[in-house]
């Protein structure tokens, strides 16, 4: 008899039109939760859907699950909030602004308030997934930045005076003040290969060479060939992954790194393949490669 009662609890009835366990299809992602969870926030969209509306009026997918046409990935955080009215996000969460929009859609004003202050503190980092992640400065970073700023303001005539190494008039550090650090060079390349393996591959030129690392090191090595338009006025002791070079030959980048005392310590590459056209067997291979350089 107990089993029969539990089974009846899972089916809709006239007094209780919604089942105890509800399956949701949110943007193609399937979620299974309890009915009390969905109606835990009075006045919310889910509360309205599963208390005020008739069960037959709600959209369903081909398997009978209730369908919600929203972002299926972000809904997991909406559902977590509905369980205990608390917000827990991963570190450096890049989708904060989009999650705030989802919270507005599901009519969860308290969740919107939780998201809004963090969005402003992070200077809208969630709006651009390509922007550099915020990093914690070391205790001596402020002092190092002060010394760096002071050295760049000294006239170039002092470079040969007592005390030794300071920066030159061009802003590049002399060999006596070179600091250790990493610089990563990345680029994407692609080529088309036909069905006949003997056919010459059609290579496309490298569109852009990206630079990742500390701003001061990148400027020291690449100077005027560093394009800073995507991340201007970056402090010298902060890291960035938004710089790229004004030339498209890897050998030029390697020469500059070698001249600055860097040597390669690691590299990796990934590749994908896709058909160029439905009517042909030509395939486009795309690769992304990174080279890691280090200076002691």
Q: Decide: helix, strand or coil at residue 289.
A: strand
Task: Tell me the per-residue pLDDT of 54-94, one tens digit each, with 9 for 90 and over.
Answer: 788 899 999 999 999 999 999 999 999 999 999 888 888 88
* Contact call for residues 255 and 275 (beta carbons, < 8 A): no
DSSP string, 202-229: EE-----EEEEEEHHHHHHHHGGGEE-T
What pTM does this model have?
A: 0.40
Q: Is the pLDDT of residue 119 over 50?
A: no
Write b or e for each residue in 153-164: b if 16 or more Cβ atoms lie within 10 A of its Cβ, otherwise e: eeeeeeeeeeee
The torsion defined by the Cα of 46, 50, 53 and 59, in degrees rounded to 10, comes to 80
Q: CATH number of the domain at 21-115, please? A: 3.30.710.10
Q: Is the pLDDT of residue 150 over 90?
A: no
Higher pLDDT, 274 or 148: 274
Q: 47: which 2 tokens?
A: 């509360």
Lowest pLDDT segment from 91-105, 172-186, 227-241: 172-186
Please state the domain extents for the chain: 21-115, 181-194+201-295
CA distance 11 to 19: 5
């Amino acid at each position: 008899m107990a089993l029969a009662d539990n089974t009846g609890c899972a089916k809709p009835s006239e007094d209780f039109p919604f089942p105890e366990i509800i399956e949701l299809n949110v943007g193609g992602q399937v979620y299974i939760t309890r009915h009390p969870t969905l109606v835990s926030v009075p006045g919310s969209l889910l509360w309205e859907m599963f208390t005020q509306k008739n069960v037959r009026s709600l959209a369903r997918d081909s398997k009978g699950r209730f369908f919600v046409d929203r972002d299926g990935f972000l809904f997991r955080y909406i559902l977590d909030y509905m369980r205990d009215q608390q917000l827990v996000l991963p570190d450096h969460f890049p989708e904060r602004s989009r999650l705030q929009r989802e919270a507005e859609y599901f009519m969860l004003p308290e969740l919107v308030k939780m998201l809004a202050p963090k969005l402003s503190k992070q200077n809208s980092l969630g709006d651009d997934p390509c922007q550099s992640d915020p990093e914690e400065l070391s205790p001596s970073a402020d002092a190092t930045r002060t010394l760096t700023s002071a050295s760049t303001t000294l006239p170039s005539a002092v470079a040969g005076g007592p005390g030794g190494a300071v920066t030159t008039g061009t802003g590049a550090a002399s060999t006596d003040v070179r600091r250790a650090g990493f610089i990563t060079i990345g680029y994407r390349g692609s080529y088309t290969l036909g069905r006949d393996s003997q056919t010459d591959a059609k290579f496309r030129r490298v569109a852009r060479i990206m630079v990742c690392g500390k701003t001061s090191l990148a400027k020291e090595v690449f100077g005027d060939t560093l394009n800073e338009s995507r991340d201007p006025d970056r402090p010298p002791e902060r890291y960035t992954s938004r710089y790229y070079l004004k030339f498209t030959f890897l050998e030029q980048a390697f020469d500059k790194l070698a001249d600055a005392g860097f040597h390669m310590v690691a590299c990796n590459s990934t590749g994908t393949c896709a058909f160029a056209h439905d009517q042909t067997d030509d395939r486009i291979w795309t690769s992304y490669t990174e080279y890691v350089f280090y200076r002691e």
